[in-house]
Structure 1
Amino acid sequence: MSVDEVFFDRVAHDLRGELSTMLAGVHYLLRFGRDLAPPTREMLERVSGAGERLTRMLAEFDDAVWLLDTQKPLVLAPIRFGELIDEVMSRIEPTVKTRGVRLVLESNDADAASTLVGDVDLLATALTSVVDLATLRAPAGTVHVTVEVRDGAPIIRVRDEGDAVPKDVLARLFEPFVEREIVARETHGRRKLRLGIGLPIARAILEAHGGSLVVEPGESGLTLRGVVSLRKASEIPPEPEKARAG
């Protein structure tokens, strides 16, 4: 593990530990503080919301190692495409409910049954990041997720109903922090919190699997097409032989 990887892992681990302690205290007060005055409860709920957003930002920071030259090794295993999508939908469900977004998934049994090879956790992280961005761009709107297998390659398309993206921004979309420029603002003027490095991380993870992440702009909204993997289950590299003791 490189010095950069150790740095990211250590900082993210320490910050998550402190944040978890803080959130546990706030949640305890909200649950058992029956005599809390309305302004106090409102403030605690705001702190809780900020903590949850910070938790998501830390998860993004933790995956920032994929923006470095040295990347995490992949733990390859076979998985059905449908099971991977189910994992992504499970991860994004709480966020979808909070943001009031309607998520429409289009798939068929044949494509869902297709088997691919990949690091399941990393693939789910990459695809969840893409869907999460779409829900930020379409507050109270609809996000369309289409799943298909074309020429043996599992593909997921994520289309939002947000505003059209200017061409100059599209050209820079996979640069760190640029995606913050295409996220809707909250009513009080602040952008919904996200570091803005999710797309370049997602693209790096998909490319490590032999896939890609590309933009399909339209007159309105934005479509991100992720080719999940070009490898089949039969192509999993063999496990290295363990050295015999003695």
Structure 2
Amino acid sequence: MRRPRPGMPPLTIRARLTLTYAALFTLGGSALVLALTTAFYHFIFQPLPDDQIPSSLDPDHDHFVGLSDQIRDAAASHLLRVALALLVLVVAVSALVGWWVAGRLLRPIADITAAARRASGTTLHERLNLSGPSDELKELGDTFDQMLERLDAAFAAQRRFVANASHELRTPLALTRAAVEVTLAKPEPDQEQWRSMARDVADSTVRAQQLIDALLTLARSEQRLTDPEEDDLADIAAEAMDRVAARCRERRLRVESDLGPAPLHGSVALLGIAVANLLENAVKYGSEGGLLRVTSARSGADRVELTVVNDGPALPADRLDRLFEPFQRGGGRGRAPGPDAPEGAGLGLSIVRAVATAHGGRVTATARPEGGLAVSLLLPAA
């Protein structure tokens, strides 16, 4: 990479374009002037044909020939000076025009630079919306707008996530503090009251730990995969079904499975968490004695799909997108978990979506006409 000399400020791209225009015009103009001058000399000083030379010369012939040579030399020199002066003038004008044209051509880049300098957490909603032909600069502006849109969505999700996490962590801490203060406010608490306080504190601590573990899992799921492995989505689903088998028996669910081969390449640990969350949510929010169906198979040549279906109340279509937002529990789904089910952190499906995105896939939810939900996890096949 060429570096500027010490003491010389680097030239801007507008200045470089202007100098390039001027240099090209100077070279072209110089070649034109030289060509015109050479042609002028060639046609003026070339000898006369033999048939045009007179047979008898006038006594003053030599005098006229010398005078005509002087006139031609003076005319050629004058023509050359005028051509060079015009060349200098045209080069100067072309440099000014090139400076103006370069500024016009680079105006979109200046707009992009100004927008990048203004970009902050409060201005990410602004867009360039460059007009003009679909050229490289228009493509650059559209790409910059898309980047701002992604950043705006990421910042909004981060602000919403931090607010929700703060609220969720405040609840177990408040319960712990209330249990301790109530017990300490009693003049002489007995052993059973101390035990009750200890149980309340332990329950609140477990809830806070579960929330923190879920937040860490979600953060890890949104990062780039570092150690992908070969595995089969059917095997991961089978292991997850073994873990929820006892809960299925408690709720008397009709379990159906059709686990076809679904080879993939990814993080087995994160995929196991995602599939387990899908099944646990299906069991927790499904109807008592209802259906739980789990299927896996290839979806086309380059995709594998895992689908989890359960029974339950009918879900409005406008709530489906909210299912994958952080801290959306039973109320956000239009149904409540079973009476003996522990309340979760509300991050299960958020983790599923983060894991799917990290693997280059996606997760979708569809409301069943007869009630309940069908959630499909689509991932790239191995």
Cα distance change of structure 1 residues 138 and 76 upon mapping to structure 2, 3 Å threshold: same
Residues in 2 aligned to 1:58 and 1:94: alpha-carbon distance in whole angstroms: 26
**Residue in structure 2 matched with residue 142 of structure 1 by the alignment:** 291
1:119 and 2:273 matched: no
Q: d(CA) in 1 for partners of 2:295 and 2:356?
A: 17
Alignment of 1:76 with 2:228, yes or no, is: yes
Match of 2:276 among 128, 134, 138: 128
When normalised by structure 1's length, the TM-score is 0.62
Contact kept, 8 Å, 1:139 with 1:184, in 2: the verdict is no
Q: Contact (CA 8 Å) 1:184, 1:192: kept in 2 or not?
A: no
Match of 1:222 in 2: 373
Aligned residue in 2 for 1:26: none
Q: What SS class does the counterpart of residue 177 from structure 1 fall into? A: coil
Aligned-partner residue type, residue 60 of structure 1 = A
Task: Pick closer, same or farther for the CA change 1:135–1:57 going to 2, 3 Å.
Answer: farther
Within the candidate set 37, 58, 65, 2:219 is matched to 65
Answer yes or no: is the 8 Å Cα contact 1:137–1:162 preserved in 2.
Answer: yes
Q: Distance in 1 between matches of 2:226 and 2:310?
A: 30
> 1:130 offset after TM fit, Å?
1.0
Whole-angstrom distance in 2 between the partners of 1:75 and 1:198: 23
Q: Which residue of 2 aligns with 1:203?
A: 353
Query: Structure 2 CA distance, aligned partners of 1:166 and 1:66?
Result: 31
Q: What is the DSSP-based 3-state SS (H/G/I as helix, E as strand, rest coil) of the residue aligned with 2:278?
A: helix
Kept after mapping to 2: 8 A contact 1:142/1:160: yes
CA distance in 2, matches of 1:97, 1:155: 26
CA displacement 1:25-69 (0-9 Å, x = unmatched): xxxxxxxxxxxxxxxxxx9xx99xx69x847656434313157xx
* RMSD between aligned residues: 3.4
Q: CA deviation at 1:213?
A: 0.3
> Which residue matches 2:103?
none
Q: 1:88 aligns with which of 219, 240, 261?
A: 240
* Contact residue 129 and residue 199 of structure 1 kept, 8 A: yes
Q: Which runs of 5+ in 1 are unaligned?
A: 1-7, 9-42, 233-246
> Deviation at 1:122?
0.6
CA distance in 1, matches of 2:317, 2:220: 26
Aligned-pair CA distance for 1:97:
3.7
Offset from partner CA, 1:56-93 (integer Å, 9 cap, x none)? 656434313157xx626342111133322222223333
SS in 1 for 2:271: helix
Distance of 1:89 and 1:186 partners within structure 2: 18
Q: Deviations over 1:118-164 (max 9, x none)?
A: 11111011011011111112143221112121213110111110111
Aligned residues: 182
Relative distance call for 1:83 and 1:75 in structure 2 (3 A) is: same
In terms of Rg, which structure is larger?
2
> Is the 2:292–2:310 Cα contact (8 Å) retained in structure 1?
yes
User: 1:184 touches 1:191 (CA, 8 Å); kept in 2?
Assistant: no
Is the strand fraction higher in 1 or 2?
1
Equivalent pair of 2:231/2:263 in contact (CA under 8 Å)? yes
Mark the CA change 1:218 to 1:186 in structure 2 (over 3 Å): closer, same or farther: closer
Contact 1:104 1:143 in 2 (8 A): yes
Please, which moves more after superposition, 149-158 or 173-182? 173-182
Name structure 2 gaps, 5 residues minimum. 1-164, 166-195
TM-score (norm 2): 0.41
| Matched AA of 1:102 | R
Whole-Å separation in 2 of the counterparts to 1:225 and 1:212: 8
Per residue, is there more helix in 1 or in 2? Answer: 2
Q: Secondary structure of the residue that 1:225 maps to in structure 2?
A: strand
Indicate if the aligned counterparts of 1:180 and 1:194 stay in contact, CA closer than 8 A. Answer: no
83 and 186 in structure 1: CA distance in 2 versus 1, 3 angstrom threshold? closer
How far apart in 1 are the matches of 2:228 and 2:344?
A: 29
1:165 counterpart residue number: 315
